[in-house]
Amino acid sequence: MQAMSNMTATTADAAVALRGALRTPAGAVHWSDAAAPAPALAWRHAARAAPALTVKMLDGFRVWQGSEPLLALPHGRVRALLKLLLLQRRRPISRTRLAALFWPEADADSARNNLHVALHRLRRALGSAARLHLGDEGYQLVTPGEAWLDTEQFVQHAEAGLHEERAGRAPEAIAQYEAALALYHRDLLEEGEWENALAAEAQALRDRLNEVLERLAALREQRADWHDCLRVGLRHLSLDESNELAHQRLMRCYGRLGQVQMAEQQYRQCVQALRQRLDLAPSTETTMLYRRIATRCAA
């Protein structure tokens, strides 16, 4: 928003035009290239061009240089190191921190040597797709042009959704939250010995996903979008089967749809999950909710 405020009037108008063009169905055109001013053409052509580097980490780990996939991605520690540098690409990471994360059992000299070898392998794997810059504060991954990361896009959509929600624009908030969910297919961590170095980043993304699901489900429920509320609520519950509030929301949705048997089934799943995972019984509120649904449907 700050960058937008610093635009010239011509560039700002071009940005508005471009946003409209991007929302237009395929084949429709708002204005032709011949008629568009130079700043608008620059924005439009930039939107068409593939980023210099495209990275997906929330649907398996894949990297593209332009439109070409990088097929020789590293494995093990070097793979986890690449992920960390991508996730933290906007700030340098010190040698000390990298050594401590990836070689916690080694002495300082051995850890530094191991890091040097790993970084050499990483440079070879990346080729011209990105380079490692070493500054006073540590290592930083630098791309030759724009980079697109699904992790960053996910967070941006989540933050935009929260902004729209706080401004009282529920439809816009829902659209942003749904866009965030569309990017998050699976957790950052893969099965591997060295993925523990990414545990903090993975948990932060998972916490944000939990927040998006909770807010989106609440908005869907407020708008009586019962089927969409169920869809989001079920995904929310998949993060934590003992989430009693998610069970309650699903029960309310089933009740509103007149599906009392599904509400009863959800209540029993809640009882079982709380008992097995937390050794707890459901709250009085949950039990009373189920009874109200059963009584209302029976009547």
State the pLDDT at residue 234. 98
For range 68-91, the mean pLDDT: 93
State the pLDDT at residue 28. 29
State the pLDDT at residue 253. 97
pTM: 0.80
For range 22-38, the mean pLDDT: 32
Is-contact 141 164, C-beta < 8 A?
Answer: no
Residue 29 has pLDDT above 90, yes or no: no
Residue 192 has pLDDT above 80, yes or no: no
State the pLDDT at residue 204. 96
For range 218-243, the mean pLDDT: 97
Residue 13 has pLDDT above 80, yes or no: no
Is-contact 93 84, C-beta < 8 A?
Answer: yes
Q: For residue range 235-286, what is the model confidence (pLDDT) as tens digits?
A: 999 999 999 999 999 999 999 999 999 999 999 999 999 999 999 999 999 9
Q: How confident is the model at residue 50 (pLDDT cuts 50, 70, 90)?
A: confident
Residues 212 and 152: their CA atoms lie apart, in Å, by: 15
State the pLDDT at residue 42. 42
Residues 82 and 197: their CA atoms lie apart, in Å, by: 11
> Any idea where the domains of the chain sit in the sequence?
2-48, 240-299
Is the model more confident about 76 or about 27? 76
- Sheet with 68-69, strands from edge to edge, namely 68-69, 62-65, 53-56, 147-149
Q: DSSP string covering the chain, please?
A: -HHHHTS-HHHHHHHHHHHHHHTSPTT--SS-TTTS-HHHHHHHHHHHSPPSEEEE-SSS-EEEETTEE------HHHHHHHHHHHHTTTS-B-HHHHHHHH-TTS-HHHHHHHHHHHHHHHHHHHTTS-EEEEETTEEEEE-SS-EEEHHHHHHHHHHHHHHHHHTT-HHHHHHHHHHHHHH-SS-S--SSTTGGGGHHHHHHHHHHHHHHHHHHHHHHHHTT-HHHHHHHHHHHHHH-TT-HHHHHHHHHHHHHTT-HHHHHHHHHHHHHHHHHHHS-PPPHHHHHHHHHHHHHHH-
Whole-number average pLDDT of the chain: 85
Q: For residue range 101-122, what is the model confidence (pLDDT) as tens digits?
A: 999 989 999 999 999 999 999 9
For range 45-63, the mean pLDDT: 83
State the pLDDT at residue 72. 87
Q: How confident is the model at residue 210 (pLDDT cuts 50, 70, 90)?
A: very high
The residue type of 135 is G
Q: For residue range 148-181, what is the model confidence (pLDDT) as tens digits?
A: 999 999 999 999 999 999 999 999 999 999 999 9
Residues 6 or more apart whose CB falls under 8 angstroms from that of 46 comprise none
State the pLDDT at residue 176. 98
State the pLDDT at residue 193. 62
